[in-house]
Amino acid sequence: MTTLHTLGFPRIGARRELKQAQEAYWAGTLQRSELEHVGRELRARHWAAQAEAGISLLPVGDFAWYDQMLEWNCLLGAVPPRFGQDAGEPVDLDTLFRMARGRAPSGTPAAACEMTKWFDTNYHYIVPELHPSQTYRIARDSLFEQVAEAQAQGHQAKPVIPGPLSWLWLGKGDAYTSAGDSAKLDLLERLVPVYREVLARLADQGVEWVQIDEPILVLDLPDAWQRALLRVYDQLTAGPVKLLLATYFGGLNDNLFTALALPVAGLHLDLVRAPEQLAAVLPRLGDKKILSAGVINGRNIWRTDLDKALALIEPARAQLGERLWLAPSCSLLHVPVDLAHEQKLDAELKGWLSFARQKLDELALLAQALDAPAEAAEALAGQRAAIAARATSPRIHNPAVQAYMAVLDGVSRDRQSPFETRISAQQQALKLPAFPTTTIGSFPQTREIRALRRDLKKGALSEADYDAAIRREIEQCIRYQEEIGIDVLVHGEAERNDMVEYFGELLEGFAFTQNGWVQSYGSRCVKPPVIFGDVSRPQPMTVAWSAYAQSLTDKPVKGMLTGPVTILQWSFVRDDQPRQKTCEQLALALRQEVLDLEDAGIRVIQIDEPALREGLPLRRADWPAYLGWAVDCFRLSTGAVRDDTQTHTHMCYAEFNDIIESIAAMDADVITIETSRSNMELLKAFEDFHYPNDIGPGVYDIHSPNVPEVDWIVGLMQKAAANLPAERLWVNPDCGLKTRGWEETRSALENMVQAARRLRDAG
Ligand code: GLN
Ligand code: ZN
């Protein structure tokens, strides 16, 4: 019998029960005991679903109140001093929540821990805060309690824990300069004994296998870290539990020999992202180790081509027999819970999809195909038919798009003239003052605006009434900006639910789920659109709103679009063609929209690319290829406009250093970026590079309700002007204002305009 396991199951619940319970608890409307009850129920349900599907080793520790890394930070007692944790006391739930969010029903508020993206996913983890004198101890018992809980329900528990090297790599601290700073390795001396203690306690509980996650093994690792892995795992494997070393999100590549040399009892490989590594591992695995083959995609929602998966693993089966285990490629955290809750997707499309619950069945079928091929034949044939139906469906192939794609090489991505020529044409057309002011696009999404959309969906509001109401919002937004004296106006994005969903709903080739929620961080979940086929734009998407806004004023109003890379990055993307191709199709659709905006008299057009940086591959060697096509797609969407049409782009908080050359290659006339929280530190990349085009460093943090003072904004801009030419600078907030209230928005923008006036007077 083939052993099946999962690296983790989504914890939020098919109806986001965890989110609701947590938020109610934070708001004080749910008791602690009720919250804990919801957690227990979800765990029991998820274990039962997995056991029923035939998974024999069940993950424990994949459940987390906010984030699995945060749980581990707490278990290790790595609680920053500002949370007032008593060194001898267990870390309680409210301390965990205070670390995540700054506040909890009990305990003194303190600055929350930093949160950042988990590898190349859209999940965010709470960053461990490291300090050279930090000590560790087992400070939270929930993992052990959950092991007992699973065992009491008759399951074989396989605890899932972050490995010490990955934990350190992902941590930050003032004493450390980078993820790979080897000074962090000094902490191992105190960390490893606690890991050993954890493993010993789990062994006492009767645990046989522990999954220890070292996803950093798919990154470029310095030698010191490779050596540390060897040293540490020698110490961790001395006890009675067996360790399954889990790697995912990529291939081991140059870390292969390190991974194979570790004295662990089993190794998990991501064979979806990196199937080729199997051939390299098999001859070197030895005659004792278990190999866990991650063959079902934990990062996407398509049904698996099981024939292909079988062909891949059959040589492994022949060599290893029952030493071959099967699993999803990574934790199923990154996919929605259950397709059965989708009532509105049509049957054809539904037949192509597989969510976490369905992936368990695929895994079981794969095992059956190995163990009892005759019995699996019928189900395999069904799966084969579904895969074939998708491949040949006319719904995914659009001849008009294909025809356009065929001549893509001949389409120019370049603007007509270089920046210097363009900017003077634009200055003549737009007549903007020095230090022009603008905003990033959205204005507060009030409860009233959201109610309009809800009523339209319910049918309680007619299309015409909705339209009229949005127009009123736009008019108010334009009047307000005129009144306070902003130079380049926006229409306010009142008609948009979300910057990707809005476009997806208007493009062909996209589908939307009802319950396809995926955890983004804490209680926040996102419902990514599904790009299933060729993307095209049946009709203009934003022109009517933008043209209406422009008709209200003589000042320029920015057309506002979401860029191709960002739409791609925040969707589930078809897997039957390279991502680059899908991105190009998006870019072509946006290119048409840009030209239509220009035809409609829109003189400034912004294409947001906040996700450009986060799309970077995990390995540096793969960066140039990605950046090449990502930049190309942006240029494809913007390149066709006249010299005197001004293009803008926007990016949120990011390390710009690594990609500054690519940002410059995008050749947007103006870029607005998030810089205020870093006190303009992030601008340094642009300064050092002598970034040639216009730039608007954000002057106030839209994530906070605090209103920036005029002096403070002037100070930030002077700092920017010290290292960049003043005539290239714009004054704008860090990002869109949709999450803010009107009151603080008004004060902040008025101060911003005042600051710009003062800068002009001073110059
Ligand atoms: N134009 C968008 C807005 O203003 C940009 C949001 C973003 O960068 N995340 O809301
Ligand atoms: Zn932003």
pLDDT digit string, tens, across residues 437-495: 999 999 999 999 999 999 999 999 999 999 999 999 999 999 999 999 999 999 999 99
| Chain centre distance of CA 161 | 22
* Confidence class for position 659, pLDDT limits 50, 70, 90: very high
Annotated binding site: 16-19, 117, 122, 440-442, 493, 524-525, 570, 608, 614, 650, 652, 674, 735
Confidence of residue 706 (pLDDT cuts 50, 70, 90): confident
Phi, psi angles (nearest 5°) of residue 148: -60, -40
Q: Which atom of ligand 1 is nearest to the CA of 496?
A: 10
pLDDT band per the 50, 70, 90 thresholds, residue 676: confident
| Claim to verify: residue 387 and residue 429 sit in the same structural domain | no
Do 434 and 485 belong together in one domain? yes
**Is residue 414 assigned to a domain?**
no
610 in ligand 1 pocket by Cβ < 6 Å?
A: yes
In this structure, the answer to whether residues 478 and 607 fall within a common structural domain is yes
Measured between alpha carbons, how far is 612 from 602 in angstroms, rounded to an integer?
25
Query: Structure tokens of 272?
Result: 């979806």
In this structure, the answer to whether residues 489 and 631 fall within a common structural domain is: yes
What integer pLDDT is reported at residue 483 of this predicted model?
98
pLDDT attached to residue 678: 84
Domain-ending residue, one of 354, 375, 392: 392
Both 454 and 376 in one domain: the answer is: no
Give the number of other CB atoms < 10 A from CB of residue 619: 14
608 lines ligand 1 (CB under 6 A): yes
DSSP-assigned beta bridge partners for residue 269 = 293
Calculate the average pLDDT of the chain: 97
Q: Decide: 79 and 139 in contact? Cβ < 8 Å.
A: yes
- Express as a percent the part of the chain with pLDDT over 70: 100
Q: What's the whole-number mean pLDDT along residues 227-256?
A: 96
Check whether residue 478 and residue 522 sit in a common domain: yes
Residues 6+ positions from 283 with CB-CB distance below 8 Å: none
Compute the distance from residue 738 Cα to the ligand 1 centre, in Å. 8
In a domain, 408, yes or no: no
Does residue 381 sit in the same domain as residue 444?
A: no
Q: Is 703 a catalytic residue?
A: yes
Q: How far is CA 168 from the centre of its chain?
A: 21
Number of domains in the chain: 2
Kind of pairing, strands 115-117 and 124-126? antiparallel
Largest CA distance in the chain: 83
Coil, strand or helix: which one is 268? strand
Q: Which ligand has the nearest atom to the CA of 559?
A: 1
The DSSP H or E segment spanning 209 is: strand 209-213
Residue 654 scores a pLDDT above 80: no
In this predicted structure, what is the pLDDT of residue 679? 86
Pocket test for ligand 1, best of 604, 650, 732 (most atoms within 8 A of CB): 650
Atom of ligand 1 nearest to the CA of 606: 1
510 close to 458: Cβ distance less than 8 angstroms: no
Distance of CA 520 to the CA centre of its chain: 7
Tokens of 58: 């069940």
As annotated, the binding site for L-methionine includes: 440-442, 493, 608
For residue 597, count other CB atoms closer than 10 A to its CB.
26
Provide the pLDDT confidence category of residue 27 given band limits of 50, 70 and 90.
very high
Residue 23 in any domain: the answer is: no
Tokens found for residue 10? 């989504």
Rounded CA gap, 584 and 630, in Å?
9
**Residue 158 CB less than 6 A away from ligand 1:** no
**Cβ of 376 less than 6 Å from ligand 1:** no
Question: Buried b vs exposed e over 494-531: b needs ≥16 C-beta within 10 Å?
Answer: bbbeebbbbbbebbebbbebebbbbbebbbebbebbbb
- Is the pLDDT reported for residue 763 higher than 80? no
d(CA 693, CA 552): 29
In a domain, 86, yes or no: yes
Mean predicted confidence (pLDDT) in 70-95: 97
- Partner residues linked to 697 by β-bridges: 673
Give the mean pLDDT of 674-682.
Answer: 87
**653 pLDDT exceeds 80?**
no
Quickly state the pLDDT bin for 571 (edges 50, 70, 90).
very high
Percentages helix, strand, coil for the chain (3-state, rounded to 5) are 50, 15, 40
Question: What per-residue confidence (pLDDT) applies to 655?
Answer: 84
| CATH assignment of the domain containing 82 | 3.20.20.210
Q: Is 17 inside any structural domain?
A: no
Could you count the other beta carbons within 10 Å of the beta carbon of residue 461? 18
Q: Report whether 64 contacts 70 (CB < 8 A).
A: yes
Where is the domain boundary, 375, 392, 409? 392
Residue 757 structural domain: 419-762
Task: Please indicate, yes or no, whether residues 451 and 573 belong to a single structural domain of this protein.
Answer: yes
Q: Does any domain span residue 29?
A: no
Ligand 1 near 735 CB (within 6 A): yes
Residue identifier of the C-alpha nearest atom 6 of ligand 1: 736
**Chosen domain end from 345, 377, 392:** 392
Residue 701 Cα distances to 112, 632, 721, angstroms: 16, 30, 19
Q: Is any ligand 1 atom within 6 A of the Cβ of residue 738?
A: yes
**Closest ligand to residue 503's CA:** 1
Tokens standing for 193?
């004994």
Binding residues for L-homocysteine: 440-442, 493, 608
Give the model confidence (pLDDT) of 729-753 as tens digits. Answer: 999 999 999 999 999 999 999 999 9
The verdict on 368 and 503 lying in the same domain is no
Partners of residue 525 on adjacent β-strands:
519
Measure 489 CA to ligand 2 centroid, in angstroms.
Answer: 17
Q: Note whether 265 and 285 are within 8 A (CB).
A: no
Q: Which atom of ligand 1 is nearest to the CA of 439?
A: 4
Residue 499 within a domain: yes
In a domain, 37, yes or no: no
- Quote the crossing angle between the two packed helices 223-236 and 188-204, to the nearest 10°: 30
Question: Residues 272-301: what's their mean pLDDT?
Answer: 98
Residue nearest to atom 1 of ligand 1 (CA): 441
Structure tokens at 171: 């941590």
Per-residue pLDDT reduced to its tens digit, 418-445: 999 999 999 999 999 999 999 999 999 9
Same domain, residue pair 384 and 426: no
Is the distance from the beta carbon of residue 444 to the nearest atom of ligand 1 less than 6 Å?
Answer: no
Atom number, ligand 1, closest to the C-alpha of residue 499: 2
Pick the atom of ligand 1 nearest to 441's CA. Answer: 4
Contact 336, 299 (CB under 8 A): no
| 71/183 same-domain check | yes
Output the residue whose Cα is nearest ligand 1's atom 4. 736
List, in order, residues 6 or more apart from 712 with CB less than 8 Å away: none
Query: Are both 360 and 423 inside the same structural domain?
Result: no
